[in-house]
Amino acid sequence: MQTPEIARPERPWHTLTLEMPEARGQRLHFAWSFDPGDGGGEYPLRSEQAWFELPAGLQLDLLDEQALLVFALMLHWPLLNLVRPVRVRLPRRLPDAALETVQRLCDLQRVTLARPGARATLGASPLARRIEFVCSGAAARTAPAPATRPGLASGMSGGKEALAQLFLARAAGVPVLAVTTTSPQGAATEHTGPHRASTLSELSKVDGVTVVEVRSNVRESYRNDFPRRLGHACWLTDLLDCQVYLLSCAAVARCSGVDAFGLGMEWEVAAARCAGGLPEPHPHVMYGPATLAALSALLAPAGLRAESLLVPLPGSAVQRLLRRAFPDALRLQASCYSATDGARWCGRCPKCVRTAVFLALDGGDPSDVGLDWGTVWRAGSLGLHRYVTKYGLLGSPRTVDAADRYLVEVLDAIHELPVGATVRRLATARSLGAADRARALARYGTARLVYRPRPPRARAAARSFKPAALAFVHPRYHRALTHLLAEHGLQPDPTDIDAEISCIDDMIAYVTSPMVPTTHAPAWRAAFPG
């Protein structure tokens, strides 16, 4: 949506100077410097260098200068809107079309940042670019078109999307490199827990899967609250992590000679609508279809294509497919960032809550992945009602004070009890332990629930997919994907999503048209002055 002009003094221009990335042994080294100018300020990364260490046997000399500079831009473009106005100096000349494509990625991200409460912090015009690229030196060298073989370097976090994408590609007969990036950040434990090593060890035994670990120091230098200090409702991890993981996957793909890389992405991240003359993409647009299309265009000279296999599937359907089609993979699922003492799950964070809800909606039990319903139940007032609402499973509670009552309603829907069922009947549900049954009865007795859940909608979301979104999945996966969806009871969703599909198409055309001219690119450029 076009946002109004906000009169604010123009800040002095900052300067971000990127050094030429280098391959030293098995490490890719990136360096930069940030000059805040007269206005002061700091960069979202504390350090002025980062490295990515690839395993022995991968040929880093296959990376030419243009690919290395694209990798450097992947590391920084999600941060540029946070330090505008900024002038980015590059040590080699890249094609103007490539730089315009990066600008347009920043345009789309700026729309997601220009939310009420954050707009005033974005400067005189919330959507104005105020980002410049200045190239010096010779043109970046490109190597001859490389010979590649079919394969997918797929990001492996241990989450449901990562596992589902890996096993779907394997079912399609495409060799998979499971690329895990180990780069600890703050108190988060998803890169350091013992369950991670166990998952990778088990995956290494799967035919057709090669586990590749990339080590990096980049996440330890995050100023993670930097966006929030500017008024944005996100952390730096939300903006940059996906590009860090995509960078690792792209480097592994190029150095191992396969033709594709990517991350698992569910429909909720892909979906977007156009309103007021501009798109309204998901806040995680940084790994949505438009970003993958832009990276495909930028890295086409290196013989690479970015892709995701899961675009047609809502998150709950991804969980259903993993549980039913790949039960051996389900026990490996773990992506909690708050687990401690060697546990796979904390039972309280959003990832744990979503996993428990999605499994239960499909008739499974959270204990299938090592989650305890009792822990999730007791943490309900800390997040279950909010995150179930966020994912569109049920209606919203009227007040925060109703959190516990709403949690009971959520469990009511999960166990498919009649609308308005008594808490006493709910308390006999098999997943609740004795202490939780006693708590429910002591607090609510046999009082009837005051809100009306919509369980059919929740169950339908877990059992359907968006057939029109198959257009965003590479054809080599279509046969295996459609077969598995039909075999495991995932039906085409009849809901009209033409508006969303059209908007995604427009975003892809907008970001790629500078490099791959099209006739239908939307006229959005004028909305981003500068």
Of 222-236, 252-266, 340-354, least confident by mean pLDDT is 340-354
Distance (Å, rounded) from C-alpha 79 to C-alpha 57? 32
Distance (Å, rounded) from C-alpha 264 to C-alpha 289? 11
| Mean pLDDT calculated for residue range 121-149 | 84
In the prediction, which pLDDT does 163 show?
Answer: 96
236-256 vs 65-80: helix axis angle to the nearest 10?
Answer: 170
DSSP 222-264: B-TTHHHHTT-SS-HHHHHHHHHHHHHHHHHHHHHTEEEEE--
Q: β-strand 176-182 against 149-155: which pairing, if any?
A: parallel
Task: For residue 126, name the pLDDT band (cuts at 50, 70, 90).
Answer: confident
Q: Which residues contact 435 (CB under 8 A, 6 or more apart)?
A: 374
The yes-or-no verdict on residue 468 having pLDDT over 80 is yes
In angstroms, how far is CA 133 from the centroid of its own chain? 27
Tell me the three-class secondary structure of 259-284, residue by residue. EEEECCCCHHHHCCEEECCEEECCCC
Element (H, E) at 153: strand 149-155
In the prediction, which pLDDT does 469 show?
Answer: 96
SS3 (DSSP) at 53: strand
Sequence ranges of the domains in the chain: 14-49+62-143, 149-316+463-490, 343-459
In the prediction, which pLDDT does 445 show?
Answer: 43
Distance (Å, rounded) from C-alpha 302 to C-alpha 140? 13
Q: Of residues 143 and 101, which shows the higher confidence score?
A: 101
In the prediction, which pLDDT does 337 show?
Answer: 78
- Whole-model pTM: value is 0.86
Element (H, E) at 152: strand 149-155
Structure tokens at 373: 């319903």
The yes-or-no verdict on residue 116 having pLDDT over 50 is no
In the prediction, which pLDDT does 418 show?
Answer: 39
The letter for the amino acid at 17 is T
Percent above pLDDT 70 for the chain:
79
Task: For residue 237, name the pLDDT band (cuts at 50, 70, 90).
Answer: very high
In angstroms, how far is CA 331 from the centroid of its own chain? 22
SS3 (DSSP) at 93: strand
In the prediction, which pLDDT does 348 show?
Answer: 78
In the prediction, which pLDDT does 155 show?
Answer: 96
| Mean pLDDT calculated for residue range 110-115 | 83
Distance (Å, rounded) from C-alpha 358 to C-alpha 376? 13
DSSP 353-413: HHHHHHHHHTT--GGGGT--HHHHHHTGGGTHHHHHHHTTSSPPPSSGGGHHHHHHHHHHH
The yes-or-no verdict on residue 153 having pLDDT over 70 is yes
Task: For residue 451, name the pLDDT band (cuts at 50, 70, 90).
Answer: very low
pLDDT tens-digit map of 36-92: 987 778 999 999 999 999 999 999 999 999 999 999 999 999 999 999 999 999 999
Mean pLDDT of the chain: 82
In the prediction, which pLDDT does 308 show?
Answer: 97
pLDDT tens-digit map of 27-45: 999 999 999 987 778 999 9
Q: Of residues 133 and 197, which shows the higher confidence score?
A: 133
Percent above pLDDT 90 for the chain:
55
Task: For residue 453, name the pLDDT band (cuts at 50, 70, 90).
Answer: very low
Q: Of residues 198 and 162, which shows the higher confidence score?
A: 162
Q: Of residues 194 and 359, which shows the higher confidence score?
A: 359
The yes-or-no verdict on residue 149 having pLDDT over 60 is yes
Task: For residue 520, name the pLDDT band (cuts at 50, 70, 90).
Answer: confident
In the prediction, which pLDDT does 318 show?
Answer: 94
pLDDT tens-digit map of 487-506: 999 999 988 899 999 999 99
Distance (Å, rounded) from C-alpha 391 to C-alpha 404? 18
The yes-or-no verdict on residue 387 having pLDDT over 70 is no
| Mean pLDDT calculated for residue range 356-376 | 77
Assigned CATH class of 149-316+463-490: alpha beta
